[in-house]
A and B are shown apart, each in its own frame.
Chain A
């Protein structure tokens, strides 16, 4: 694999929910080992893009294409996308009562053919949990059930670390975190990237610049009105921070109707 190889390649993607189109032609290429930040106002369709890429059955793609690691992504079921190495860290992870974090992790790893021997598994989980400053009681707590916002974010990163994807789509992994928790989560992403044998790529969806202080993006995309309106280097994030989205949108000649959140 070369540095130039596209891991994820999205072209002219239109998608929506319940007959309402939300994505109006998204073009995006993420290469191995890169961090792409996708920044945009609330309701601009960032999470819809994440769901559509992961294959949420409620989100229908009407036109466009998406390939992942050479495969046509849009024909694959969500579980097949995951098994091929895609991972979505949810903005609002769902609780599965009665299913412990450990059993959940084991079921997911088994499903992806990444099962470890019990001893190796526990060692890996415990090691990552220590890094994420997660109490060991998490192992036997039901996944996301009664977790605080910050606990949910860490549990997502724990899953990413165990599943070792090729591409991690992180949907607002920073929302609701204090300074310390933010650093812990960002360090988790860096650790996973460093440990990744196939040079994991990251698509990081966020509102705020502050997570980018920890995770320096290669490319920053400004997302509004269901598509990427402009892209640039890390300096783009600073401009957003300093000037807000409106200037950038105006510059790009885009007027965006703020969608209800």
Chain B
């Protein structure tokens, strides 16, 4: 493990931004005209325009959530809802516009692709600017593209699943996304196909006062396997940006979907994301969810266990530095008998940072022999740091086994002294304790991501103790 000394808040590596290269953007603020302009610009079918306009109505009617993090800083009228950065989507890296290419080069995207990925998608502001998939997977019928292309090229498949897991009226921000969505990934894995290396999407906000509203839909057909990874960064602007995504996953009978997120937005981004999966008979869905960046995150990946013996796994890690609030958690809804779920949450707060675990376990009356395990541990790095836990449980079947454990601890003086007595500096000792605390999460990541995560954690540890 490498331990470096920088302050992430001062020295956010991805805080650079390029000059505005957009070729089209809607006016600031939200109106039916803006929504219609997005739809028209994308040349969408009529049903999608109607869907969007209806969603906008839901969004307007719906009050802001009265629970969770403080969202009063969001000024919906001061946001660009659609910014198109390039005229065409590139399939060859050489065809990506130079300045955008530079950005992703600095983020290491082409490098990552060469190393170990089955496919890459890179979204810059509202549109996916680059996209590729390994040829052999393409031939097997695996679809990996952006959602707009999915709508255009696979209209029936797309419409069959789109917004069926998260309807527009689900919550205020799902409604907002439904009204102005753009980009994101559309993934289909045919029956029995195992995609042996991960597919990756990279999301970058570049414009000031920008809202990014990508929409991701993953369908894993019977007996298939896919691992999807997303990463995200944004420049540090003085004004806030909004990221409000919707991710829907369908895991058919016996399918296995793993969805990994390393959220590293800059600390001026409101990150309000709805993620939900449906797991059918014998299917497994795993959310591996790491939240390091953003000003405010509200995100509670959910799994509906619809078929017998379906299994859900939600493993999350959150780090909240000064001024950050990570309100994250997990939901598992056990609809069918003999379903199991396992939730592990680890969070660290530093300075005025605050982490919240918000969980919901529901077992429906017919779901007998359900097994649930929840474990959440919080680590506070100093006196000011804050952590809270909101575990909700609705259990409507007596024949279940539920385990719940929670702990809050401080980095102990004894731990620090023990490490320091071995020659390790106080700062590196803290980083070591923090890395150790996140170990159950980190060991689930592909090697490259694990290294990157440890590095980011080390960066954010500067001056955290004493």
Q: Do A and B interact?
A: yes
Q: Which residues of A contact B (CB under 8 A)?
A: 54-58, 77-79, 81-83, 87-88, 90, 93-94, 96-99, 103-104, 107-108, 111-112, 142, 159, 163
CB distance from A77 to the nearest CB of B (A): 7
Q: Which of B415, B421, B437, B439 contacts A82 (CB 8 A)?
A: B421
The answer for the CA separation of A78 and B432 in the assembled complex, in Å, is 17
Q: Which of A82, A98, A142 contacts B420 (CB 8 A)?
A: A82
Q: Are B436 and A142 in contact (CB under 8 A)?
A: yes
Looking at chain B's contact residues, the main secondary structure is helix
> What string of 1s and 0s marks CB contacts (under 8 Å) between B408-440 and chain A?
000011110111111111101000110111111
Chain A minimum-CB-distance residue to B424: A111
A107 in contact with B428 given A54-B421, A93-B418 (CB within 8 Å) = yes
For the A-B complex with A81-B421, A99-B432 known, give 20 more contacts whose Cβ atoms are closer than 8 Å.
A56-B417, A77-B420, A82-B420, A82-B422, A82-B423, A94-B417, A94-B418, A96-B436, A97-B436, A98-B438, A98-B439, A98-B440, A99-B435, A99-B436, A107-B424, A108-B422, A111-B423, A111-B424, A112-B422, A142-B439
CB distance from B457 to the nearest CB of A (A): 12
CB distance from B358 to the nearest CB of A (A): 24
CB distance from A46 to the nearest CB of B (A): 17
Answer yes or no: B1 CB below 8 A from chain A CBs: yes
User: Which of A83, A87, A96, A103 is most buried by chain B, counting CB atoms within 10 A of its CB?
Assistant: A96
Residues of B within 8 A of A93 (CB): 418
CB distance from A56 to the nearest CB of B (A): 5
Looking at chain A's contact residues, the main secondary structure is mixed
A111 in contact with B437 given A77-B420, A99-B432 (CB within 8 Å) = no
CB distance from A101 to the nearest CB of B (A): 12
The answer for the CA separation of A82 and B426 in the assembled complex, in Å, is 13
The answer for the CA separation of A77 and B425 in the assembled complex, in Å, is 9
The answer for the CA separation of A104 and B428 in the assembled complex, in Å, is 11
Q: Which of A78, A82, A103 contacts B1 (CB 8 A)?
A: A103
Which 8 interchain pairs have the tightest Cβ spacing? A98-B436, A98-B439, A82-B423, A108-B422, A112-B423, A99-B436, A78-B420, A111-B423
Give the residues from 446 to 464 in chain B that come closer than 8 angstroms, CB to CB, to chain A.
Answer: none
Q: Which of B1, B413, B415, B422 contacts A159 (CB 8 A)?
A: B422
